[in-house]
Amino acid sequence: MSHAGHTVPAPAGFVPHTVAHHFESQEQEYQSAKLGFWLFLVTEILLFGGLFVAYFYYHTVHHDAFSIGGKQLSWKLGTTNTAVLLFSSFTMAMGVRSAQLSQKKAMLTYLVLTFLCACGFLVVKYFEYSAKIDHGLGAGSMFHPHDPQLLGYEGLSMFFALYWTMTGIHGFHVLCGMVVIAWLIWRGAKGELHAKHYMPVDIVGLYWHLVDLIWIFLFPLLYLVP
């Protein structure tokens, strides 16, 4: 039985899950967590929504400067990172699938792969960021371009302000994702995630896909800006 306060039997070798006291059934618990998480994703989209509005507004105002700004970024590194994140979304999805099938080893492998992809993304970002700083292309008060040709473009500082803010906040989300994926790996290793209780993997998976999706929008807007 899967009633409130009751323990749901787990497949052999796994730790059983106990339904929280105020739920009637595990189904209700799962549905609640999932709806709650979708709502949280809505708040994330709105948070980035504000930044996208600022981007589009200033892109209209400083069209040329934004085009020059985009050319200062390395589209090769950007593409690499896009590929890395897309692949990590795939491994995450496979992790969820393995959890649903109670395949502990496969799940842990996929989760570790996802974690490593996130690390890779941040390492690439680190090289990009330091190159920008070296060229004096920081945000706001740190924007002093070394290349004299860039000085004439009013609005270029705005492009880099948005570049740093948007990718910075996105990078922070990647970091948070690594923390929760590490938490999944820890719980998974203890045998707490399985066919009768895969909700945490499912939810972190949703979060990770959103982080990926936001990057899919950031990449063309910043790196491939016409």
Partner 1 sequence: MTAISATSVHETHAERKNYLNRDSSFMSWAGTLDHKRIGLMYLTGVMFAFLVGGLFALLVRLHLWDATVDVATGVKSGGLFEPGKYNQYFTMHGVFMVFMFIIPAIPASLGNFALPLMLGAKDVALPRLNLASFYLWLAGTIMAIASMLLGQVDTGWTFYTPYSIYTQKAVVMMGLSVFVLGFSSIFTGLNFIVTTHKLRAPGQGWFRMPLFVWAVYATALLQVVATPVLGVTVLLLGFERLYHIGIFDPQFGGDPVLFQHFFWFYSHPAVYIMILPAMGIMSEVVSVFSRKPIFGYRLIAFSSLAIAIISFIVWGHHMFTSGQSELALFLFSFLTFFVALPSAIKEFNWVATIWKGSISLEAPMLYALSFLVIFAIGGLTGVILGTLNLDIHLHDTYFVVAHFHYVMMGSTAMAFFAGLHYWWPKMFGVMYSRFWATIGALVIFIGFNATFIPQFVMGSMGMPRRYAHYVPEFQGYHQASTIGALLLATGIAIMVGYLLASLFGGKKAEGNPWGSPTLDWTHTSTPPVLENFDDQPIVEREPYDYTLILEEAKQRVQNA
Residue 22 sits in the site that holds partner 1 (CB under 8 A): yes
Question: 49-64 b/e with 16+ CB inside 10 Å = b?
Answer: eebbeebeebbeebee
Residue 43 sits in the site that holds partner 1 (CB under 8 A): yes
- The length of the chain is 226
Strands (E), the chain: 7-8, 17-18
Q: Per-residue x/- mask for partner 1, residues 106 to 125, rule CB under 8 A?
A: --------------------
Residue 154 sits in the site that holds partner 1 (CB under 8 A): yes
Cα 85–chain centre separation? 8
Cα 166–chain centre separation? 12
- Residue from 157, 184, 185, 200 touching partner 1 (CB under 8 A): that is 157
- Smallest gap from residue 119 Cβ to partner 1 (A): 26
Smaller CB distance to partner 1: residue 40 or 127?
40
Cα 2–chain centre separation? 33
Subset of residues 67 to 96 that bind partner 1, contact rule: CB under 8 A:
none
Residue 165 sits in the site that holds partner 1 (CB under 8 A): yes
In degrees, rounded to 5, the angle at the alpha carbon of residue 226 between the alpha carbons of residues 157 and 48 is 60
Helix (H, G, I), strand (E, B) or coil at 18: strand
- Smallest gap from residue 102 Cβ to partner 1 (A): 26
- Smallest gap from residue 221 Cβ to partner 1 (A): 16
Phi–psi pair at 23, nearest 5 degrees: -100, 150
Token duo for residue 103: 């395949």
Smaller CB distance to partner 1: residue 7 or 165?
165
Stretch that binds partner 1, among 78-86, 110-118, 134-142, 176-184 (CB under 8 A): 134-142
CA distance 63 to 65: 6
CA distance 223 to 74: 7
- Residue from 162, 210, 211, 218 touching partner 1 (CB under 8 A): that is 162
- Residue from 28, 80, 100, 109 touching partner 1 (CB under 8 A): that is 28
Chain residues in the site for partner 1 (CB under 8 A): 4, 20-24, 28, 31-33, 35-36, 39-40, 42-44, 46-51, 53-54, 57-58, 61-62, 139-142, 154-155, 157-158, 161-162, 164-165, 169
